[in-house]
Amino acid sequence: MSVFDLTLQDIHSKLRNKELTVTDLVDASYRRIADVDGRIGAFLALDEENARRTAQQLDKQLGTDEPRGLLFGLPAGLKDNIVTAGLATTCASKFLSNYDPIYDATVVRKLRDAQAVTVGKLNMDEFAMGGSGENSAVKPTRNPWHPDHVPGGSSSGSAAAVAAGEVYFALGSDTGGSIRQPASYCGIVGMKPTYGLVSRFGLVAFASSLDQIGPLTKNVEDCAYVLQSIVGHDPQDSTSLNVTDIPDYLSALTGDIQGLRVALPKEYMGEGIDPRVKERVLEAIRVLESLGAVVEEVSLPHTEYAVAAYYLLASSEASSNLARYDGVRYGVRTDNAGNLLDVYRYSRSEGFGPEVKRRIMLGTYALSSGYYDAYYLKAQKVRTLIKRDFDNVFANYDVVVGPTAPTPAFKLGEQVGDPLTMYLNDILTIPVNLAGIPAISVPCGFADGLPVGLQVIGKALNESTVLRVAHAFERSTDHHKQRPQLKA
Ligand code: GLN
C-alpha cells in the first residue's frame, strides 16, 4: 500500500507522531514518478529541488506547535496551464515551450499558504482543448487502469497522476468537463466549483466565461480539503465572486442525505449512453435511495443543444484569448519570417497543434460580421435556456445526478480522426459549465475493468450539498478504494 492511500487525517497524525516526515512524502512521490511515469506520461516537468527544500522547511515545523496548513506536507501536481513562477508553464503546447512565468497563479499561492508541496506540472490537451489527453503536443498520457486507453482530458495528467499514486492530489481546470471526465475515466474524484468561486488569476485562458480550476483527489473528503484551501475572492480576477461567508465544506460531510431530493434527468440516461454506464448509475441511485434520498425523473429539455452551443462559445472565446500568441510577446517565434505578417503567420502555424487551429478557425468564423447573430448570439441564447432548465429543476430538487461521461475510457487513437465523436463525450458535463454551477464526479463502479463516474450537480455556490451527497454515496461503497494494478 502506498503512503498516498492513507487518509489525510492519518497522514497528518503520523506527521504529528513523527512516524512520517514531509520529506518521506515527497520522496514517495518522486520514487513513484520514477517507477511508473515512463508508462503513464502524466508529468511534463518536475520541481524536485524546490519541493525537497520546501519539505525540509516543513519538517522543521514538525516538532513545534506552529499551526499547520490544511494541506500540510501533501505532494501536489498542477495542470500545466496554471502558471508557476520560475517553473515552465507550457499548456502542453509547442507555442509556450519556452515560457517561464514571472508570477504564481492565485491557486498556487493558496496551496503554498495551505502548506502543500508542488512536485511538478502535469500533462494536458494543448491549451485544455480536448477530452483524451491526445492533443498534448508533448506526449499522450495513458490510463493507469489500462495502458491502451486514454485517461480522459483535458486534465489528463492530473487525473492519471492521482490515480497512479504519483501525487496525493492535483489541480486541474474544467471548461466543458476537463476535471470531471478524466476523473471519471481514471476512477477518482474530480470537482468543478461554481464559476467564480476559485480565482482564475494565473490560469492560462481558454474560454474565460467557462474556465474554472478545481481539485482531483482519491476521495470526497480530500476534495473538500483542497477546495477549502483554494476558494475565495481575488481582486486580481474580475470574475471572482465576492463570497463573504465561505462554508466549512468538511462539516458538510455528515453522511446524512435523508429526505434529500435528487433529480435524474431522462436526457442523461437516454440514447448514446453505454448500457454498462447506465447500470452503474442505476445502482448508485439505489444506494442513494437506501440512504433516504428521494430520487425522481426530470427533464432538462435543452441538453441536446449544449454541445453545439459550447463549441461555438468556447471556440469564439478561444479565438479571442489565443490572439495574444503572435510570436512577438509570448512563447516561440518562427525562424522562417522575412516580415512582420510572416512572424504572425508562421509562428501561429508552427506553434499551434491541429485541434487548437480548428477551434481558432471555428471561433473566428462564428464571431465574424454577418455570422455573429446566427452563431455566437444564438449560442448565447441557448446557454440561457440551458441555465433555465437547471433553475427549473433546482426549484424542486437539491441535486441532479447522472453519469459523468456517456462511456468508460476509450482506446488511444480510437477517436482522434473524428472530432465530432470526441466532442460528444462531453454531452453530460458541458451543460454544467454553461450554467456556471458546481458538479463532482465520484467513482461508481467499473465496466470491464474501466472506471465509471457518477456526476452530482448542485445549485450555484452549493458545493456543500454536492460534497455531502458524493460523500454519503462514497461511504456506502468501496469503488474509490480500488487501485489500478500498476506494477512498479
Ligand atoms: N473536452 C472539452 C473540450 O475539448 C472540454 C475541455 C475542457 O474542459 N478544458 O473543449
How confident is residue 124, by pLDDT bands cut at 50, 70 and 90? very high
For the CA of 174, the closest atom of ligand 1 is 8
- The atom of ligand 1 lying closest to the CA of 425 is 1
At 258-288, the pLDDT tens digits run 999 999 999 999 989 999 999 999 999 999 9
Task: Specify the pLDDT at position 215.
Answer: 98
What pLDDT score does 451 carry? 98
Of the pLDDT bands very low, low, confident and very high (cuts 50, 70, 90), residue 106 is very high
Q: Give percent of the chain with pLDDT exceeding 70.
A: 99
What pairs with residue 458 in β-bridges? 399
pLDDT in tens, 125-159: 999 999 999 999 999 999 999 999 999 999 999 99
Stretch 182-208: mean pLDDT: 98
Q: What is the pLDDT of residue 385?
A: 98
- Give dist(CA 354, CA 334) in Å, integer: 17
Catalytic center residues: 79, 154, 178
Mean pLDDT, rounded, for 387-414:
98
Q: Which atom of ligand 1 is nearest to the CA of 422?
A: 1
Helix (H) or strand (E) holding 186: helix 180-186
Half-sphere exposure in the Cβ direction for 437 (13 Å, CA): 28
pLDDT tens digit string along 40-68?
A: 999 999 999 999 999 999 999 998 989 99
Answer whether residue 488 shows pLDDT above 80. no
The grid coordinates of residue 34 equal 520514477
Q: What is the mean pLDDT of residues 358-375?
A: 94
Band (pLDDT 50/70/90 cuts) for residue 420 is confident
Q: Does residue 475 have a pLDDT over 80?
A: yes
Res 487: pLDDT = 64
Residue 7 has pLDDT above 80, yes or no: yes
pLDDT value, residue 446? 98
Instruction: Assign 436 to helix, strand or coil.
Output: coil
Question: How much is the mean pLDDT over the chain?
Answer: 96
Share of the chain above pLDDT 90, in %: 94
Distance CA 176, CA 477 (A): 28
Mean pLDDT, residues 78-88 taken together? 97
Q: How close is the Cα of 310 to the center of ligand 1, in Å?
A: 9
| Ligand 1 centroid distance, CA of 427 (Å) | 11
**Ligand 1: lining residues by beta carbon, under 6 Å:** 128-131, 154, 174-178, 206, 314, 426
Q: CB burial class (10 A; 0-12, 13-18, 19+) of residue 14? A: middle
d(CA 179, CA 171) in angstroms, rounded, equals: 9
Q: Determine the residue of 80, 125, 415 to mutate for testing ligand 1's pocket, defined as the one with the most ligand atoms within 8 A of the Cβ atom.
A: 125
Q: How far is the CA of 443 from the centre of ligand 1 (A)?
A: 20
Pairing of strands 75-79, 117-122: parallel
DSSP string across 261-326: EEEEEGGGGSTTS-HHHHHHHHHHHHHHHHTT-EEEEE--TTGGGHHHHHHHHHHHHHHHHGGG-S
The answer to whether the Cα torsion of 424, 426, 429, 432 is positive or negative is negative
Is the pLDDT at 123 greater than 90, yes or no? Answer: yes
pLDDT at 208: 98
